[in-house]
């Protein structure tokens, strides 16, 4: 697909001058989800809920749960190896690894460094990024900067979570929503594609309390009281978070469309953060998108936070949904609060 010149001009205004036509494309994607499936019926054995409630309020039917000896770095490395294989890229070619996660193996070293070791990406620099469910789009934007500036030729961006370790399995408000998994993308310059056309990122720290894990950091280091008070688990004001999610995702999506002077009808696929089917419907209705445009797989995996859009992107690609030249809109929202959107020429 040939893009109107005005889009190219907007997208990479520096490209023709400073970067001599360089662009940043997704060369390949990959994903990994653990084998163990936890259904709504399974959860209804533990807390006072039902498959009917969870399905009608969220669209989720089941989610994956990692084994006790399987950590976020393992999920991330499996997704990375899948993306490397599909892109025919060797681990030694990777210059930079960015892992977006809120469930690192441990506070430090960075999970990205653990991934670097597992996959044998010997020359890669590695760091983690924490933007909760928005992490993958933040990672794409950061990775893009390294490609465009020619600091790196190959950047591996991973969204990975073992959320089952920070879920309060006694809290029915949250335990029904989340799952474990990882998705990865390899970024490179591809001269025949516009790649990442534009990205927006946003945040509002005033509303950080809506979705947080109160203890385990410098504010409330782990002690007997924090454990007794169950402060090492994710807490969320679901109703308020829902409202902000719809507004922020809609605005971010509109902004990237406006920047590229694109109509929603020109977008082939919308891949939103897979938090809740009702949030996705509300956002796509406001964008006046059709149902066929919107990719949803949350019924199988629940909300996997930073991994969610990456897993969905890989599944859409594996299903043959994404064709060279298709315009894809990614849109996310998460704790922080954070949000973001991106338009990609596939
Ligand atoms: O990744 C981004 C961050 N997270 C999100 O995007 C999540 C955003 N929020 C949501 O998706 C929705 O707010 C929820 C799915 C979490 C909740 O749906 P809701 O329609 O907003 O329900 P609610 O919180 O208003 O609760 C309605 C009722 C309450 O009972 P009362 O007070 O009306 O008697 C809850 O106690 O549903 C009750 N409830 C449940 N009932 C059965 C809450 N959780 C459950 C449950 N099973 N699991």
**pLDDT (tens digit, 9 = 90+) per residue, 55-96?**
999 999 999 999 999 999 999 999 999 999 999 999 999 999
CB-based contact 22:189 (threshold 8 Å): yes
Would you say residue 13 lies in a domain? no
Count of all residues that appear for the chain in the document: 346
What pTM was computed for the model?
0.94
Measured from CB, residues less than 6 Å from any atom of ligand 1 are: 49, 53-54, 57-58, 133, 172-173, 176, 211, 238-239, 241-242, 245, 275-276, 279, 303, 333-334
* 238 CA from centroid of ligand 1 (Å): 6
Q: Which two tokens stand for residue 109?
A: 């070293």
Range of the domain at 94: 19-188
Q: What is the DSSP string of 68-88?
A: TT--HHHHHHHHHHHHHHHHT
pLDDT at residue 6 above 50?
Answer: no
Q: Which two tokens stand for residue 194?
A: 């516009």
Alpha helical stretches, state H, the chain: 5-11, 40-44, 51-58, 72-87, 111-119, 135-148, 172-175, 224-228, 238-259, 277-287, 298-301, 308-318
For 71-80, 94-103, 188-197, 220-229, which range has the lowest pLDDT when averaged over its residues? 188-197
Total domains present in the chain = 2
Would you say residue 1 lies in a domain? no
pLDDT at residue 8 above 60?
Answer: no
Share of the chain above pLDDT 90, in %: 91
Residues 168, 124 share a domain? yes
Longest dimension (CA), the chain: 62
Q: How far apart are CA 65 and CA 74, in angstroms?
A: 13
Residues 140, 41 share a domain? yes
Q: Which two tokens stand for residue 283?
A: 């956002």
pLDDT at residue 219 above 80?
Answer: yes
Q: What is the pLDDT of residue 267?
A: 97
Q: Which two tokens stand for residue 180?
A: 């474990």
pLDDT at residue 53 above 80?
Answer: yes
133 is catalytic: yes
Q: What is the pLDDT of residue 193?
A: 82
Element (H, E) at 65: strand 62-65
Integer Rg of the chain from CA = 19
Residues 209, 183 share a domain? no
Residues 209, 99 share a domain? no
The residue among 158, 188, 218 that closes a domain is 188
Alpha helical stretches, state H, 120-189: 135-148, 172-175
The residue among 124, 159, 188 that closes a domain is 188
Digit-coded pLDDT (tens) for 298-329: 999 999 999 999 999 999 999 998 999 999 99
Would you say residue 3 lies in a domain? no
Residues 208, 135 share a domain? no
Residues 221, 333 share a domain? yes
232 is catalytic: no
Sort 2 into a burial class: Cβ within 10 Å, 0-12 / 13-18 / 19+. exposed
Residues 204, 130 share a domain? no
Would you say residue 66 lies in a domain? yes
Q: What is the pLDDT of residue 19?
A: 56
The residue from 12, 24, 74, 133 that is catalytic is 133
CB-based contact 233:171 (threshold 8 Å): yes
Would you say residue 7 lies in a domain? no
Packing angle of the helix pair 72-87, 308-318 (nearest 10 deg): 30
Structure confidence at residue 11 as a pLDDT band (50, 70, 90)? low
Residues 238, 102 share a domain? no
17 is catalytic: no
Digit-coded pLDDT (tens) for 99-137: 999 999 999 999 999 999 999 999 999 999 999 999 999
Mutate to test the pocket of ligand 1, among 53, 57, 133, 339 (most ligand atoms within 8 A of CB): 57
Q: Which two tokens stand for residue 278?
A: 């009702």
The residue from 12, 189, 273, 276 that is catalytic is 273
Share of the chain above pLDDT 70, in %: 94
Mean pLDDT (the chain) is 94
Digit-coded pLDDT (tens) for 133-164: 999 999 999 999 999 999 999 999 999 999 99
Digit-coded pLDDT (tens) for 164-180: 999 999 999 999 999 99
pLDDT at residue 191 above 90?
Answer: no
Find the mean pLDDT for residues 336-346.
96
Would you say residue 326 lies in a domain? yes
Digit-coded pLDDT (tens) for 263-273: 999 999 999 99
Residues 180, 32 share a domain? yes
Give me the residue label for tokens 């030694």: 92
Q: How far apart are CA 236 and CA 336, in angstroms?
A: 12
pLDDT at residue 345 above 70?
Answer: yes
The residue among 136, 170, 188 that closes a domain is 188
Residues 322, 182 share a domain? no
> CATH number, domain at 273?
3.40.47.10
pLDDT at residue 7 above 60?
Answer: no
Residues 29, 175 share a domain? yes
Ligand 1, atom 43: closest residue by C-alpha = 173
Structure confidence at residue 192 as a pLDDT band (50, 70, 90)? confident
Mutate to test the pocket of ligand 1, among 242, 245, 252 (most ligand atoms within 8 A of CB): 242
Residues 177, 203 share a domain? no
Give me the residue label for tokens 């688990």: 233
Mutate to test the pocket of ligand 1, among 276, 280, 283 (most ligand atoms within 8 A of CB): 276
The residue from 40, 189, 276, 303 that is catalytic is 303
């Amino acid at each position: 697909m040939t893009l109107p010149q005005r889009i190219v001009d907007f997208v990479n205004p520096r490209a023709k001058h400073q970067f001599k036509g360089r662009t940043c494309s997704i060369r390949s994607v990959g994903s990994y989800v653990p084998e163990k499936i936890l259904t709504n019926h399974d959860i209804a054995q533990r807390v006072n809920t039902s498959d009917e409630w969870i399905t009608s309020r969220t669209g989720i039917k089941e989610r994956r749960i990692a084994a006790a000896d399987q950590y976020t770095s393992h999920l991330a490395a499996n997704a990375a190896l899948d993306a490397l294989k599909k892109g025919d890229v060797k681990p030694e070619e990777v210059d930079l690894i960015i892992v977006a996660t809120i469930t690192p193996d441990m506070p430090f070293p960075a999970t990205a460094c653990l991934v670097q070791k597992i996959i044998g990406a010997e020359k890669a620099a590695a760091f983690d990024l924490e933007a909760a469910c928005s992490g993958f789009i933040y990672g794409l934007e950061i990775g893009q900067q390294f490609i465009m500036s020619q600091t790196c030729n190959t950047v591996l961006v991973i969204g990975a979570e073992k959320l089952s370790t920070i879920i309060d399995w006694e809290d029915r408000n949250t335990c029904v929503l989340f799952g474990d998994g990882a998705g990865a993308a390899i970024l490179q310059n591809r001269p025949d594609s516009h790649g990442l056309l534009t990205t927006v990122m946003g945040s509002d720290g005033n509303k950080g309390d809506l979705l947080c894990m109160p203890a385990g950091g410098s504010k409330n280091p782990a002690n007997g009281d924090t454990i007794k008070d169950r402060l090492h688990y994710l807490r969320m004001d679901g109703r308020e978070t829902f409202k902000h999610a719809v507004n922020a995702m809609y605005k971010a999506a509109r902004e990237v469309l406006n920047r590229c002077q694109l109509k929603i009808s020109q977008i082939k696929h919308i891949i939103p953060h897979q938090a809740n089917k009702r949030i996705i419907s509300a956002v796509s209705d406001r964008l006046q998108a059709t149902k066929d445009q919107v990719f949803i797989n949350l019924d199988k995996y629940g909300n996997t936070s930073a991994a969610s859009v990456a897993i969905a992107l890989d599944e859409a690609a594996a299903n043959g949904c994404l064709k060279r030249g298709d315009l894809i809109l990614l849109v996310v929202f998460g704790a922080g609060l954070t949000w973001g959107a991106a338009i990609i020429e596939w």
